Amino acid sequence: MAFDYSVIGKRIRQAREGKGLTQEQLAEKLDVSNAYISKIERGRTPINLDRLSELCIMLEETPEYILSGANNGTRDYMRNEIIAMLEGCSAEKIRLISQIIKPIVDYKEK
């Protein structure tokens, strides 16, 4: 399974902001540089398992949520995941995505 580090970074940023922490504060708690946190949040550098574990403890999130968007408390996490992927897409990309998924959504299962 390949990971989209930009999506993982977005989840980390959202969790950090949800805790009211700045990148600097999180970096200090993890004993890393601000630049490292910034690169992780922008998806520019992968995060190793040890650091992911520390980060999850600090942010009170599960590794499953950070890596895949799966959250035991959220039934429609895939819907949220799709919405998160659409953020920042151009109007042109959204039109293309709509053309691709419309037949799937309209498909009547037997």
| CA distances in angstroms from 54 to 14, 29, 36, 72, 86, listed in the order given | 16, 10, 14, 20, 29
Q: pTM of the full predicted structure? A: 0.65
Return the domain boundaries, the chain.
5-106
Full pLDDT tens readout for the chain, 110 residues: 578 899 999 999 999 999 999 999 999 999 999 999 999 999 999 999 999 999 999 999 989 889 887 765 555 667 777 887 888 889 999 999 999 999 988 888 76
Exposure string of 54-89, with b = 16+ CB inside 10 Å and e = fewer, is bbbebbebeeebbbbbeeeeeeebeeebeeeeeeee
Superfamily per CATH, domain 5-106: lambda repressor-like DNA-binding domains (1.10.260.40)
